């Protein structure tokens, strides 16, 4: 009956041996003079490293006919060189006379992908497509009149200036229009005070509309109007009172039917609903329900122009995949991504309805490779003829020639400098390597290239991926404190997957730290199960996985000191970093938390309800940093800008108040006039000082008395 305890006991024994072995190395414990010199060196590196990487990317300027393109390199002495490339052969010719270059307007465009359904333009023109009718709203009601003149006919009667009809959408054949009776809800304001303006000796009170979890939405009641008899027909569906009003899609060759998409509040049900425009009757073409959440803002849908089909994305089979939907009969015709594929469609770039092909980006298809790496593919509507365009083990970024016959593939990893290749679009065949990034000057500065590190998560099976940055003058015979850069927002994954130009992680490492970052469970771009960990559980923040990842790093490298671990983060990362000291103080000893959303009831409605659910229940309070303030152990620095319009400043200040009421000691930095930020240059300076003091046990520079 106790066999289940054996692995746990063994793990404790192994951990104990680890710690014993680790302690055999002396601590990295610099003197104050050495730390002060490290500050100077880090500041110098910040400056020198900015332009130390050359030829990391090119912008292709395609010439008329798409048979060639030119690009420019900036060299070490800031001089420039120009190259002309023959697209068919990849042959490069150096350009000496730049006056002959054609700076075409759209060349080298980034193929950014199809707009999501929330980004598509919604026309407000009330003129019918056949230009015979004009629909207008007067005093809250819809009127219809002939475009050539004549008396307007009132089609609705119960609208008024408070609850007006509007958002008119015509059918392509001009025989029907869809209108909505609107029941507006005014968003409540949040406030902040600008303390330090130059125009007044009084603080300036500011406010802006800000919906928080549980607040009501504007409601939209859907109707159709038949142009022939001007009859108003109510659509047989519930009030549309979540995420704005819908845009409708009319059936090709039969405008008596249209569809719209509806996500229920709480993000647990999504439907594509068909409407009979004459009767108002409805049926579900697609209905998806889940016990956790549907990542609503990532749903992709494409309505074909001629074949009455929908290309639709869903995680219903465990990964974000594409499906072909019959928009007449309803239901899925076929899976476009083969069932059982344990990889993720990240973005649809384009759809060729004539060839019935989809061009998309995906990650996780290549075994043995970082599952977050972006690759480019093409596949048929029927799920056949999958073509991989970007084979290299790296994360790719592609731009296409205007005629899409060729593409520029720029790929890299955190540990692999960028390579730029010219490839043929038809089959992905390599034509020529165009450039390799020149990092020689970068390496001469002593900067160490980050290491990609992978270890198992809390289930003992799932790989957790991250990066490790070491100091320039790293000494493997001493034990270094660790600082984790954390952001566990479930809307994405955040560890860099491309070669890193010098940034804050390397800059902080230069002071004498091992600085790391990983994506724990609960973040996106992996399986649905991996993502579901965040559901009603944002306080988790993947911290159990992160702790195991750092411990695995310490098992591999004896110079990792797991007794001195700190972390920092901004926004959701601010919530995560402070939460680490509340919920895992046995491991994390110091945290810097910038503009954190410390209670998910105080933050944005759309973001928090997506992950914490609706209605707002006791679990919101149970996971609040504010509610759990009495659990604080270790050293904490809170940073907040007084003019933050993203996360209300009171989120941090209420947390501070709760800490004070429970007798906790912490540091608080309020930056006048600053918005949503990590604290800016001053905040980053204070962050470095904080970790130097609490993880290196050295007093930071006394800047008030420096020469």
Distance CA 256, CA 279 (A): 9
* Complete DSSP assignment for 337-389: SPTT---EEEEEEEEETTTTEEEEEEES-STTS-TT--EEEEEETTS---EES
Strands 282-289 and 301-303: what pairing? unpaired
**Domains held by the chain: number:** 2
Q: Retrieve residue 471's tokens.
A: 């100091």
Strand, helix or coil at 283?
Answer: strand
End-to-end C-alpha distance for the chain, whole angstroms: 69
Closest Cα partner for 327 from 237, 238, 260, 246? 260
Are the CB atoms for 60 and 81 separated by under 8 Å? no
Distance CA 106, CA 92 (A): 22
Number of residues that make up the chain: 707
Question: What's the pLDDT at 100?
Answer: 76
Are the CB atoms for 656 and 666 separated by under 8 Å? yes
DSSP for residue 225 = E
Are the CB atoms for 310 and 331 separated by under 8 Å? no
Instruction: Give the 3-state DSSP-derived string for 474-490, with helices as H, strands as E and coil as C.
Output: CCCCCEEEEEEECCCCC
Distance CA 573, CA 593 (A): 7
Does the residue 607 lie in any domain?
yes
| Bridge partners, residue 222, by sequence | 180
Distance CA 620, CA 627 (A): 10
Q: State the maximum Cα–Cα separation within the chain, in Å, rounded to a whole number.
A: 94
Strand, helix or coil at 326?
Answer: strand
> Which residue, 112, 146, 178, sits at the end of a domain?
112
pLDDT digits (tens, 9 = 90+) for 4-56: 333 333 333 334 444 444 458 999 999 999 999 999 999 999 999 988 999 99
Distance CA 668, CA 596 (A): 12
Are the CB atoms for 575 and 582 separated by under 8 Å? no
Does the residue 568 lie in any domain?
yes
Q: Retrieve residue 214's tokens.
A: 């549980």
Buried b (16+ CB within 10 A) or exposed e, 153-170: eebbeebeeeebbbbbbb
Are the CB atoms for 293 and 491 separated by under 8 Å? no
Kindly give the residue spans of alpha helices, DSSP state H, lying in 281-324.
none
Q: How far is CA 392 from the centre of its chain?
A: 24
Distance CA 680, CA 692 (A): 18
Does the residue 496 lie in any domain?
yes
Are the CB atoms for 238 and 246 separated by under 8 Å? no
Distance CA 655, CA 591 (A): 14
Residues of the chain with pLDDT under 50: 1-22, 106-112, 115-122, 124-125
Are the CB atoms for 456 and 463 separated by under 8 Å? yes
- C-alpha distances in Å from residue 527, one per residue of 156, 230, 288: 48, 50, 17
Q: Retrieve residue 124's tokens.
A: 């407000």
Does the residue 342 lie in any domain?
no
Strands 176-183 and 189-194: what pairing? unpaired
Strand, helix or coil at 329?
Answer: coil
Does the residue 675 lie in any domain?
yes
Does the residue 232 lie in any domain?
no
Distance CA 72, CA 70 (A): 7
Question: What's the pLDDT at 585?
Answer: 98
- The secondary structure element, H or E, covering residue 547 is helix 543-556
Does the residue 93 lie in any domain?
yes
Task: Check residue 226 and give left, alpha or beta (phi > 0: left; psi -120 to 50: alpha).
Answer: beta
What is the pTM (predicted TM-score) of this model? Answer: 0.93
Does the residue 687 lie in any domain?
yes
Strands 92-95 and 80-86: what pairing? antiparallel
Phi, psi of 315 (to 5 degrees): -100, 20
> Which residue, 71, 86, 112, sits at the end of a domain?
112
Strand, helix or coil at 35?
Answer: helix
> Which residue, 112, 130, 151, sits at the end of a domain?
112
Helix axes 543-556, 5-22, angle to 10 degrees: 50
Range of the domain at 67: 61-112
Cβ neighbours for 184, distance < 8 A, ≥ 6 positions apart = 162, 163, 218
Strands 480-485 and 514-518: what pairing? parallel
Question: What's the pLDDT at 22?
Answer: 45
| Bridge partners, residue 409, by sequence | 398, 421
Count the Cβ atoms, other than its own, within 10 Å of residue 575: 32
Distance CA 193, CA 673 (A): 9
- Domain with residue 520: its CATH number is 3.40.50.1820
Distance CA 256, CA 250 (A): 8
Buried b (16+ CB within 10 A) or exposed e, 203-238: eeeeeeebbbbeeebebbbbbbbbbeeeebbebebe
DSSP for residue 630 = G
Counting beta carbons within 10 angstroms of the beta carbon of residue 151, is it exposed (0 to 12), middle (13 to 18) or buried (19 or more)?
exposed
Question: What's the pLDDT at 104?
Answer: 59
Distance CA 505, CA 487 (A): 13
Are the CB atoms for 413 and 390 separated by under 8 Å? no
């Amino acid at each position: 009956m106790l066999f289940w305890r054996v692995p746990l006991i063994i793990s404790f024994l192994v951990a104990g041996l680890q710690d014993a072995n680790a302690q055999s190395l002396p601590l990295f414990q610099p003197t104050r003079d050495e730390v002060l010199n490290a500050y100077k060196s880090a500041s110098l590196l910040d400056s020198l490293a900015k332009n130390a990487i050359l030829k990391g990317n090119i912008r292709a300027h395609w010439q008329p006919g798409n048979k060639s393109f030119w690009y420019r390199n900036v060299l070490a002495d800031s001089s420039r060189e120009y190259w002309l490339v023959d697209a068919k052969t990849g042959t490069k010719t150096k350009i000496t006379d730049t006056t002959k270059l054609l700076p075409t307007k759209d060349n080298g465009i980034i193929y950014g992908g199809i707009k999501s359904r929330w980004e598509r333009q919604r026309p407000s023109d009330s003129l019918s497509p056949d230009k015979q009718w004009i629909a207008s709203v007067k005093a809250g009601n819809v009127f219809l009149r002939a475009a050539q003149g004549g008396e307007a006919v009132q089609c609705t009667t119960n609208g008024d200036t408070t609850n007006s009809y509007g958002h008119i959408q015509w059918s392509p054949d001009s025989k029907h229009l869809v209108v909505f009776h609107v029941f507006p809800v005014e968003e409540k304001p949040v406030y902040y005070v600008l303390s330090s303006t130059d125009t007044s000796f009084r603080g300036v009170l500011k406010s802006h509309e800000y919906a928080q979890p549980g607040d009501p939405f504007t409601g939209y009641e859907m109707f159709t109007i038949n142009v022939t008899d001007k009859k108003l027909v109510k659509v047989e569906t519930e009030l549309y009172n979540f995420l704005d009003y819908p845009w409708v899609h009319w059936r090709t060759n039969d405008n008596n039917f249209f569809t719209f998409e509806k996500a229920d509040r709480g993000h647990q049900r999504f439907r594509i609903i068909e409407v009979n425009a004459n009767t108002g009757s409805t049926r579900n073409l697609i209905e998806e329900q889940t016990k956790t959440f549907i990542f609503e803002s990532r749903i992709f849908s494409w309505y074909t122009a001629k074949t009455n089909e929908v290309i639709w994305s869903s995680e219903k089979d465990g990964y974000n995949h594409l499906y072909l939907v019959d928009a007449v009969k309803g239901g899925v015709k076929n899976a476009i991504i083969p069932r059982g594929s344990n990889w993720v469609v990240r973005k649809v770039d384009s759809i060729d309805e004539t060839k019935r092909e989809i061009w998309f980006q995906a990650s996780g298809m290549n075994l043995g490779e970082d599952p977050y790496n972006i690759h480019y593919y093409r596949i048929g509507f029927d799920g056949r003829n999958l073509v991989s365009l970007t084979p290299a083990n790296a994360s790719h970024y592609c731009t296409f020639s205007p005629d899409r016959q060729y593409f520029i593939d720029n790929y890299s990893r955190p540990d692999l400098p960028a390579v730029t290749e010219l490839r043929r679009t038809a089959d992905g065949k390599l034509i020529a390597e165009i450039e390799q990034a020149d990092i020689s000057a970068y390496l001469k500065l002593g900067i160490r290239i980050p290491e990609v590190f992978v270890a198992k998560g809390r289930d003992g099976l799932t790989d957790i991926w991250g990066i490790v940055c070491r100091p320039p003058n790293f000494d493997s015979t001493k034990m270094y404190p660790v600082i984790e850069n954390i952001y566990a927002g479930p809307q994405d994954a955040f560890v860099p997957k491309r070669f890193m130009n010098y940034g804050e992680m390397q800059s902080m490492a230069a002071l004498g730290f091992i600085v790391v970052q990983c994506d724990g469970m609960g973040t996106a771009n992996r399986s649905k199960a991996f993502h579901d960990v965040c559901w009603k559980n944002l306080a988790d923040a993947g911290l159990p996985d992160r702790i195991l990842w750092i411990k695995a790093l310490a098992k591999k490298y004896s110079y990792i000191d797991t007794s001195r671990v700190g972390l920092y983060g901004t926004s959701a990362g601010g919530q995560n970093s402070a939460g680490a000291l509340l919920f895992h103080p046995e491991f994390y000893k110091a945290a810097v938390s910038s503009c954190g959303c410390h209670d998910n009831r105080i933050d944005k409605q759309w973001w928090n309800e997506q992950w914490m659910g609706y209605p707002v229940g006791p679990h919101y309070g149970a996971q609040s940093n504010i509610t759990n303030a009495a659990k604080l152990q270790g050293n904490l620095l809170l940073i907040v800008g007084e003019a933050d319009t993203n996360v209300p400043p009171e989120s941090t200040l209420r947390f501070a108040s709760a800490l004070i009421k429970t007798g906790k000691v912490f540091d608080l930095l309020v930056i006048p006039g600053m918005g949503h930020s990590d604290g800016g240059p001053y905040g980053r300076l204070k962050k470095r000082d904080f970790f130097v003091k609490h993880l290196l046990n050295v007093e930071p520079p006394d800047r008030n008395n420096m020469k």
